[in-house]
Amino acid sequence: MSSYRQPGVVFTDRFFTVPLDHTDPGGEQIEIFGREAVASGKVNDALPWLVYLEGGPGFGARRFVGTEAWLGRAVREFRVLLLDQRGTGLSAPANRQTLPLRGGPREQAGYLAHFRSDSIVRDCELIRPRLTGGAPWTVLGQSFGGFCAVTYLSSAPEGLAAVLITGGLPSLDAHAEDVYRAAYPRIERKVAAHYDRYPQDVQRVREITAHLCEHRTESAGHRLTVEGFQSLGIMLGGGNGSHQLHYLLENAFVRTPYGTELSDSFLEAVRTATSFAGHPLYALLHEAIYGQGERPTDWAAERVRAEFPQFDAAEALKGGGPVLFTGESVHPWHFEVDPALRPLRETAQLLAGRTDWAPLYDAERLAANDVPVAAAVYHDDMYVDTGHALRTAAAIRGLRTWVTNEFEHDGLRAGGPRVLDRLLAMVRDEI
């Protein structure tokens, strides 16, 4: 355990040992990392704890510098644990380099089946008494972290003083197909809004798409296909995403002695934006987080996409219309074009075909909930369906919603102090 100071805050790095499989507590153990944050002037104070669960799946907790974003508001009254969920950050990282230690694809898939929200919650419940002495703590869940928070309410509400959710109320019973069937129309609306804002991008995107259709394009081992280029639409789910996408597109081409080519700077920016090297679990478990029961997820986003022919780039080029970007979805081709994912193709296929997923939510327990819960629901959130979120909100007794179009999915980051302040006031019935 080591501590160090940054402006306004003291961080302490902590490691915990938990079972890989919580149904076998005496079996294999893995290491979980959390970074404690406390205000500089309150290091020795007896403060309640707040645990932060990052979005994803597959992302470690944000590495803050000092009291930036929402953390400054949180440490005014909490001791905060920024938890790297298992498989992310410094918590038993799972990637193409480490997973072969488990064995072949079948062993890897079996291992990763323990990396969903149910296991994350049980990790929290082992860690909590070690920090709080047994007292319940407040959970702040962003996006997938909110999914984990609803699992927490379903399985261990006794560990919770309050729950704060931002952009992360999952459907309690939707299959992955239902999630993506609802997602594609939202993505189309976001793309239309982008083209309304930047109409010059319509032709620019058509030109880039046509070039990719005619030329095999690679950068640092990462192959850029038309579908990969379209996946840049994931940027449109953030508050500044449309502007960032526009600036990325503006220097796509460069004149060379051999004719017009896609520029190195553009290809590097696209590779950075689309690579899963830093978060491979996002790709491996993206559909598995919806798995409940015997029905496999079976590449739901890929299958459902066929129901929306307007996303067919080749047809758009033929017809003279705009090429549509796609959004937050993972497809089999990701495991062909991305060098960080290629060695994990068979593992991903086994996870997609899995038919023994445990349930993640308990509708009866949620209906009887007595933990104070407040959730920010972002109107027309590209990543989490508003209709699904509001149905879940109605199914959790006492949950209060703040439905807003002031923010996109990244509202906690973009407007963190205000978002956190409002949610805290809601669970305390101050507003």
SS (H, E, C) 156-220: CHHHEEEEEEECCCCCCCCCHHHHHHHHHHHHHHHHHHHHHHCCHHHHHHHHHHHHHHHCCEEEC
Distances in Å between the alpha carbon of 246 and those of 366, 380, 400? 43, 21, 36
| Same domain (yes/no): 154, 54 | yes
| Same domain (yes/no): 305, 168 | no
| Same domain (yes/no): 27, 92 | yes
Mean pLDDT of 382-403: 97
Spatial separation of the C-alpha atoms in residues 229 and 233, rounded to whole Å: 8
> Which pLDDT band holds residue 1 (cuts at 50, 70, 90)?
confident
Q: What confidence tens digit (pLDDT) does each residue in 32-44 have?
A: 999 999 999 999 9
> Tokens for 27?
């079996």
Dihedral over Cα of 190, 172, 378, 246: its sign: negative
Spatial separation of the C-alpha atoms in residues 185 and 315, rounded to whole Å: 18
Spatial separation of the C-alpha atoms in residues 384 and 2, rounded to whole Å: 37
Q: What confidence tens digit (pLDDT) does each residue in 334-368 have?
A: 999 999 999 999 999 999 999 999 999 999 999 99
Q: Is the per-residue pLDDT at 416 higher than 90? A: no
- Find where tokens 């369906």 sit: 385
Indicate the residue type of 136: P
Q: Is the per-residue pLDDT at 108 higher than 90? A: yes
> Tokens for 223?
């192959």
3-class secondary structure, 309:
helix
- Catalytic hit among 114, 118, 409, 410: 409
Task: State which of 298, 320, 352 marks the end of a domain.
Answer: 352
- Find where tokens 């739901």 sit: 300
Q: What confidence tens digit (pLDDT) does each residue in 120-143 have?
A: 999 999 999 999 999 999 999 999
Task: State which of 330, 352, 374 marks the end of a domain.
Answer: 352
Q: What are phi and psi of 165, to 5 degrees?
A: -125, 135
Determine how many CB atoms are found less than 10 A away from the CB of residue 112.
24
Domain with 416, as residue range(s), is 2-173+361-427
Spatial separation of the C-alpha atoms in residues 316 and 313, rounded to whole Å: 5
What CATH number is attached to the domain comprising 35? 3.40.50.1820
H/E segment holding residue 56: none
Q: What confidence tens digit (pLDDT) does each residue in 274-294 have?
A: 999 999 999 999 999 999 999
Distances in Å between the alpha carbon of 149 and those of 8, 58, 166, 226, 311? 28, 16, 10, 36, 34
| Same domain (yes/no): 370, 298 | no
- The rounded mean pLDDT for the chain is 97
| Same domain (yes/no): 153, 223 | no
Spatial separation of the C-alpha atoms in residues 138 and 134, rounded to whole Å: 13
DSSP state letter for 357:
B
DSSP-assigned states of every residue in 381-426: -SSS-HHHHHHHHHHSTT-EEEEESS--TTHHHHTHHHHHHHHHHH
The pLDDT value recorded for residue 242 is 97
173 is annotated as an active-site residue = no
Q: What confidence tens digit (pLDDT) does each residue in 18-68 have?
A: 999 999 999 999 999 999 999 999 999 999 999 999 999 999 999 999 999
Q: Is the per-residue pLDDT at 429 higher than 90? A: yes
Task: State which of 352, 375, 402 marks the end of a domain.
Answer: 352
| Same domain (yes/no): 183, 76 | no
409 is annotated as an active-site residue = yes
H/E segment holding residue 68: none
Q: What percent of the chain has pLDDT over 90?
A: 98
Give the range among 26-30, 103-107, 144-148, 316-320 with minimum mean pLDDT. Answer: 316-320
Q: What percent of the chain has pLDDT over 70?
A: 100
Whether 96 contacts 67, CB under 8 Å: no
- Catalytic hit among 143, 155, 242, 329: 143
Indicate the residue type of 89: G
356 is annotated as an active-site residue = yes
Spatial separation of the C-alpha atoms in residues 382 and 406, rounded to whole Å: 14
116 has which bridge partners?
none
Spatial separation of the C-alpha atoms in residues 271 and 431, rounded to whole Å: 45
| Same domain (yes/no): 258, 372 | no
| Same domain (yes/no): 159, 248 | no
| Same domain (yes/no): 302, 417 | no
Q: Number of folded domains in the chain?
A: 2
Give the range among 107-121, 186-200, 385-399, 404-418 with minimum mean pLDDT. Answer: 404-418
For 238-282, strand residue ranges (E) read: 253-256, 259-262
| Same domain (yes/no): 323, 241 | yes
| Same domain (yes/no): 340, 387 | no
| Same domain (yes/no): 81, 138 | yes
Half-sphere exposure (CA, 13 Å, Cβ side) for 88? 27
